[in-house]
Amino acid sequence: MKRTMKAVLKAKPSPGFEIKEIPIPQVGYGDLLVKVRRAAICGTDSHIWSWDEWSQKRIKPPITIGHEFCGDVVEVGPGVTGFSVGDFVSAESHIPCGTCYQCRNDQQHICGNLKILGVDTDGCYAEYVRLPAVCAWKNPKDMDVNVAAVQEPLGNSVYCVSEGDVVGKSVAVFGCGPAGMFATAVSKASSAYPVISVIKHEFRRKIMKELGADYIINKNEDVKKLVMDVTQGVGVDVVLEMTGSQEAIDVGLSVVRKGGRFVAFGIPSGAVKMALAEGVIFKGVNITGINGRLMYKTWFTMQGLLRSGRLNPKPVITHTYPMEKINEAMEKMKSPDRSVGKIVLLPFGS
Ligand SMILES: [Zn+2]
Ligand SMILES: [Zn+2]
């Protein structure tokens, strides 16, 4: 096997990505080496690309970027059981330490020493990636590669919806980025009714429709009145807040019903204000914060939803770019009208 590979790096502390020839990662104890078949772009990668305040604090260049992907196992490190060469895998991006308080309480996804692939360790925008076997998820061999590549972000939404207990319940999804789109699809697949999608970018209305949203409201309309009309003045059982914006949090708390649940997933850029008395305490609202995916309860639920045919995330994937054109793909992510859903990257040299 050759010794070097192409990779997308945050090579220095400044905006943009660079493609470089670097050594193929060495597998250590408990690791797999995976040849990347498809990768996907996440909002996190976009932050790192722009080199915003968060990434300046968190990212230590040089580092290979990317944490959403699928690929084939080409080498199995010492100490690994349950995986072999040729397995088709996707990756859980949260790398747990295995020994801290959370890890030993079935909460590896929020490990006290959590590392994230492509953020704290070298990631998957490369020909090969080193993946701790604890983070590998085996896919059926014939699984659609694009769907396999987006299971990590899809899993976030599966976790959000699972926490909401949505069967036969009304759900309002705030946000029309990939997380909001996936949450809409998963809510429908989980037999919620009605599923109300609150969008910002009109380009995404068509996709929301395809994903089965029962009502689609633009955030500039009177969201509260429309949600109340649809729910006979009660409010929704579950709010899935996938944006992190102050406005969506305010409106979300105003439309969740008394005794309902508010699932917080979108990450605000700073501290937010919350109507704690009127919006939460007096209404007896339950707020749940979601980070990552339960390892691996969420993945099994996602697998079941996908295999059942009820969950089809494909309409969310709107564009593919070769890995070589990563900077172009990142520009596309930023297009002002957001005329893009999830972008999937084809491997180098394809
Ligand atoms: Zn991500
Ligand atoms: Zn831990």
Q: How far is the CA of 322 from the centre of ligand 2 (A)?
A: 35
Whether the Cβ atoms of residue 325 and residue 127 lie closer than 8 Å to each other: no
> Which part of the chain is CATH 3.90.180.10?
4-150+313-346
Query: Measured between alpha carbons, how far is 307 from 71 in angstroms, rounded to an integer?
Result: 19
Question: What integer pLDDT is reported at residue 62 of this predicted model?
Answer: 98
Query: Measured between alpha carbons, how far is 347 from 17 in angstroms, rounded to an integer?
Result: 16
Whether the Cβ atoms of residue 150 and residue 317 lie closer than 8 Å to each other: yes
Catalytic residue among 4, 44, 81, 288: 44
Residue ranges of the chain with per-residue pLDDT less than 50: none
> What architecture does CATH give domain 4-150+313-346?
Alpha-Beta Complex (3.90)
Strand partners, 216: 197
Of 36, 12, 33, the closest CA to residue 348 belongs to 36
Q: Are strands 18-23 and 94-95 parallel, antiparallel or unpaired?
A: unpaired
Question: What integer pLDDT is reported at residue 115 of this predicted model?
Answer: 98
Q: Which CATH class is domain 153-289?
A: alpha beta
* 44 noted as active-site residue: yes
Query: Measured between alpha carbons, how far is 98 from 106 in angstroms, rounded to an integer?
Result: 10
Q: How far is the CA of 108 from the centre of ligand 2 (A)?
A: 6
Question: What integer pLDDT is reported at residue 1 of this predicted model?
Answer: 67
Ligand showing the shortest atom-to-Cα distance for residue 98: 2
Q: How far is the CA of 153 from the centre of ligand 1 (A)?
A: 6
Ligand showing the shortest atom-to-Cα distance for residue 152: 1
Strand partners, 342: 317
- For the entire predicted model, the pTM comes to 0.97
> Which part of the chain is CATH 3.40.50.720?
153-289
Question: What integer pLDDT is reported at residue 222 of this predicted model?
Answer: 98
Q: How far is the CA of 273 from the centre of ligand 2 (A)?
A: 31
Sequence-distant (≥ 6) Cβ neighbours of residue 135 within 8 angstroms: 91, 92, 93, 94, 95, 117
Query: Measured between alpha carbons, how far is 41 from 205 in angstroms, rounded to an integer?
Result: 21
Q: How far is the CA of 65 from the centre of ligand 2 (A)?
A: 23
